[in-house]
Structure 1
Amino acid sequence: MDNQEIVQKLWNLCNVLRDDGITYHQYVTELTYILFLKMMKETGEEEKQNIPEEYRWDSLTERHGIELKTHYQKLLIDLGQESNDTLRQIYLNAQTNIDEPKNLEKIIRSINDLDWYSAKEEGLGDLYEGLLEKNASETKSGAGQYFTPRPLIDEIVKLVDPDPGERCNDPAAGTFGFMIAADRNVRKKTDDYFDLSQNEAEFQKHKAFSGVELVKDTHRLALMNAMLHDIQGDITLGDTLSELGKDMNNYDVIMTNPPFGTKQGGERPTRDDFTFTTTNKQLNFLQHIYRSLKPDGKSRAAVVLPDNVLFESGVGDKIRADLMDKCNLHTILRLPTGIFYAQGVKTNVLFFNREKTDKDNTENVWVYDLRTNMPSFGKRTPLTHKHFGDFNKAYLAEDRTKIKDERWNVFTREDIRKKDDSLDIGLIADKSLAVYENLPDPIESAEEAIGKLNQAVGLLNGVVEELKEIENGNSQYNKSEKVAETPGVYNHE
């Protein structure tokens, strides 16, 4: 049994909990509580994680009914108060949503009976990510709001290309997908860290990758995801746009997909170090990101942002100008629609480097349009790595001017200034609209159609009149015939 099959089996267990009124997202959180204990047993980590003996996996399999549920409830509370930091954070304020003891028992038995040897061979981290991806693909769960499509993450990480020894951060971490992909990228370069010294390998595991997540349950999933990928970096529960974010700085790499929308209630961020204040969360995250990069000419970022960040006027103009002053905004990727949980949302990836000075660092902005004349993405047509092939070729070209691709265009800083620093640029002609380009004037067309219809009605009226005359003539003929044929009746005509 491969991980995909195991994920499907785990996901199907959600049906057991329908009568308890549990949502998909609650189910994944509940699974995290239970899977953590099972995975610690399978990997021999129970002692290393300081899990009290009375709360280890076997304590769940040897109990039944009400006794099991009572024990499980106490387990959640007590593990949330343990001294072990990872253990405490995963179970912090944990509570079960399962009402029926028989349902809890069925889930534990089913998890215990899975093929854990195969799961370990393929990687428990990959198994857990598969579960998170399944949750995000279910529109009813609403989980897509913090789950960036894996192909998009992988392509961004490939192009940003984190190196060993670099400090990488995601200020809106979600389930920590960007940092896990960054870790995978560095491991690939270093033979799974075996090419590094012990100190360098320790840095990679404990300090290289960090993030901040605002939502408690999502933070829990991020911790579990990181641990199963052997990443022990700092994942903070909190708000980057609060005072907490002021101490987040000097990063070599930032990759992130900040939440969409305005700050709840329309209030401004609680930080006092932003040059420009706004209620637009994405613009605030953008400010935070380019300010928290190390000003050494090598630090770099890739940020997924909605279209409004590209064209919002007022403070938006000022933030974009500040970004292009402090950084070299070298590339914008206009993403297709339908790749996120909200079908209509239009997004982009901004790629930029923080430079050593704070003025006039952007000369040219290259824009790749991966949106226009693209398939309609969704469950039936998922976004895949192959869709990024031509963009990657253009992005990585030694001489970008030699790339012959209608989707690939360049705009000078002067061009952008003339547009009031709007970055809503680079979209090509939509071929689906071409059929309308040579249509005649609609009023003239309507008048012509009415004329033809009136003409047709006149012709039809003429046909009707002729048919009536014929019908009347036949009627008279039939009447006279009938009189002639009737015995005793004479035709005086």
Structure 2
Amino acid sequence: MPTKDADGQLAIDVPAQPKKQTRAQLQSAIKSARDIMRKDAGLNGDLDRLPQLSWILFLRAFDVCVERERAAENLEYEPAIAAPYDWASWGAREEFTGNEFLQFVNTELLPYLRGLNSDAEGDPRNVISTIFQEIHNRMLSGVLLRDLVNVVNDISFESADDIHTMAFVYESILKEMRDAAGDSGEFYTPRPVIRFMVEQSFLKLGMSILDPACGTGGFLVEAYDELRELPTSQAEVNQLHHNIRGYEKKPLPYLLVMMNLLLHGIDVPNVVRTNALVKMREESSPRHRVDVVLTNPPFGGEEEKSVAARFEKAGVSTQETAWLFLFSVIERLKPGGRCAIVLPNGSLFGGGVGAKVKEKLMRECNLHTVVRLPQGVFAPYTQIPANLLFFEKTGPTKETWFYEIPLPEGRRGYSKTKPMRYEEFADCAQWWGGEGREGREQNERAWKVAAEDIKASGYNLDLANPHIGDDLAHRSPEELVNELIKTEQEILGLLGELKAQLGGEN
């Protein structure tokens, strides 16, 4: 009921606005969650703890950001997750704990989520079902699981600011996850590299953007952040959400990318759990093509024979993932489409099938720029040098520009504690010449090569900077020996893996 203030004026009660959570508060909540998980005997290390936290966090965020928002907009909205499996029925009930709670999660909740389905395109039930197909509760204590859920339940998603702050915190957790994953042979693209690739792709609203090897979603998130302020209507917002597309084969990265995109504001991410190479061969019609591909495909590995066999009719007889992905990306682009892709040095100078794929690349596309990254950008996981290839499907290449990013002055390499910084791309970005690449000039870091010369070399793109002499003469014997030891250790490691695989086949 309205009341009067001390001056006799009518006072209207205004509901208190939810207090915005600070980054420090969210980081503290995540620390509490991790401390709880460390006590449980079923979890070993961050490779167990992050998935456990992520699927609980996903359900909490989905309840607030999707279910409640849609219910507020549409009185006839039918929740995707029905009671007693909705968050209010189990996640928000602090008294529901112990063995009874543990049994409910293991034998009722997770099987229910796996069984969700709908014939309607874009229905979140299908997304949830796909996410939870290989998700399991690894915690053994129902009490600790309840404590963990309580921490997540106290995290607010009531405002866009809360969601953006939580997204930042989650990104920091993913970075730690990537560090842990690198130790087991998976490498993730450093954020400065992603940001540079996205910015030099000059994205526009309405473009369809695909990462066929999206991992935890670094490229997709960066592309979305680049465009998210541009829509002027809900229809354009919906189109942007649909145009941010990804494929991911493995269950854990798939869960993480879905969580990552949800926190960044895409309530039904357009990411498919699939083998991208199979998917792209099956969907070869023009309507499946996209405007932009941004990706760092797996390299150094081999695909299954059944997957590689799908490419033989196209004249690509190989199991090497890098070549299969590059070939597939060229096919996936619309006429006029553009791509930024990470490839290792081996792909640049490789012959045989590799030369065929590069010949196709330069015949059908304008390979306008190759950015040569400093050695060790992916350190400490690998010292294999990497390159960024930028091309457009606008007809044959006439000339290709190369730009060499140097190591910072006084540095011998990168590490976990001293990774590559975005500022190291500043000179290259200034030299780039905007979307039209106008006014480029050769300098001590940049040079161009005619397409005919590249063709004459057997499509070798591993070209040294002609403006700098052999830098081996300027390096200390100790540095050269250390680099040789690292290289030998990598080779021995790969040989060990090969031996183990051969032993497993016998």
Query: For the superposition of Structure 1 and Structure 2, which TM-score range results when normalised by the shorter chain?
Result: 0.7 to 0.9
8 Å contact 1:364–1:412 — kept in the other structure? Answer: yes
Distance between the aligned counterparts of 2:387 and 2:310, measured in 1? Answer: 26
Taking a change above 3 Å as real, the CA distance of residues 430 and 389 of structure 1, as seen in their structure-2 partners, is farther
Q: Is the 8 A contact 2:55 2:255 kept in 1?
A: no
Matches within 5 A, 1:217-296: 217-231=252-266, 232-242=268-278, 244-247=280-283, 249-264=288-303, 269-272=308-311, 274-295=314-335
Structure 2 gap ranges (5+): 1-20, 71-78, 118-124, 478-506
Per-residue deviation, 1:64:
1.6
Given candidates 66, 70, 77, the residue that maps to 2:111 is 77
Question: How far apart are the structure 1 equivalents of 2:24 and 2:371?
Answer: 31
Worse-superposed segment, 305-314 or 422-431: 422-431
2:180 alignment partner in structure 1? 138
Query: C-alpha displacement at 1:391, in angstroms?
Result: 1.0
Distance 1:10 1:65, change over 3 A: same
TM-score w.r.t. length of structure 2: 0.76
5 Å matches for 1:316-465? 316-340=354-378, 342-355=381-394, 357=395, 361-371=396-406, 375=411, 376-396=413-433, 403=441, 405-427=443-465, 428-429=468-469, 431=471, 433-434=473-474
CA–CA separation in structure 1 for the residues paired with 2:178 and 2:437: 39
Tell me how far 1:102 sits from its aligned partner: 3.2
SS of residue paired to 2:293: strand
State how far apart, in whole Å, the 1-side matches of 2:236 and 2:451 are.
40
How far the C-alpha of 1:362 sits from its partner, in A, is 0.8
Closer, same or farther: CA 270–211 of 1 in aligned 2, 3 Å: farther
Find the counterpart in structure 2 of residue 184 from structure 1.
225
* Change in 2 beyond 3 A, CA 1:184/1:331: same
1:195-251, CA deviations, whole angstroms, 9 ceiling, x for partnerless residues? Answer: xx4433322222x12111111221122222222223335311111222553315421
- Map 1:118-197; keep pairs closer than 5 Å: 120=162, 122-138=164-180, 142=184, 145=187, 147-188=188-229, 190=230, 193-194=231-232, 197=233
Q: CA 1:121–1:276 in structure 2 vs 1: closer, same or farther (change >3 Å)?
A: closer
Deviation string, structure 1 residues 89-108 (Cα, Å, up to 9, x no partner): 22223211112223323322
User: For 2:81, which of 43, 51, 62 is the aligned residue?
Assistant: 51
How far apart are residue 53 of structure 1 and its match? Answer: 2.7
Q: Taking structure 1 as reference, are residues 330 and 36 closer, same or farther at Cα in structure 2, changes over 3 Å only?
A: same
Shift of 1:265: 5.8
CA distance in 2, matches of 1:330, 1:87: 41
- Distance in 2 (alpha carbons) for counterparts of 1:366 and 1:393: 15
Is 1:98 paired with 2:113? no
Structure 2 CA distance for partners of 1:270 and 1:314, relative to 1, 3 Å: closer
Code of the residue aligned with 1:45 in structure 2: it is E
Q: In the aligned structure 1, how far is the partner of 2:363 from the partner of 2:352?
A: 17
Q: Is the 8 A contact 1:266 1:279 kept in 2?
A: yes
Which stretch shifts more, 4-13 or 231-240?
4-13
Change (3 A) 1:12 1:305: farther
Q: Structure 1: where are the runs of 5+ without partners?
A: 438-493
Aligned-pair CA distance for 1:113: 4.2
On the 8 A contact 1:329/1:350 being kept in 2, the answer is yes
Q: Distance in 2 between matches of 1:402 and 1:226?
A: 36
Q: Does 1:205 align with 2:241?
A: yes
Pick one of 30, 48, 51 that aligns with 1:10: 30
Count residues with an aligned counterpart: 424
Partner SS, residue 226 of structure 1: helix
Range with bigger deviation, 217-226 or 257-266: 257-266
Identity of aligned residues (%): 26
State the distance in 2 between where 1:308 and 1:4 align.
Answer: 44
Change (3 A) 1:245 1:32: farther
Task: Identify if the C-alpha distance between structure 1 residues 267 and 334 changes in structure 2 by more than 3 Å, giving closer, same or farther.
Answer: farther
Q: Is the 8 A contact 1:137 1:144 kept in 2?
A: no
Q: Distance in 1 between matches of 2:181 and 2:253?
A: 17
Q: Is the 8 A contact 1:170 1:211 kept in 2?
A: yes
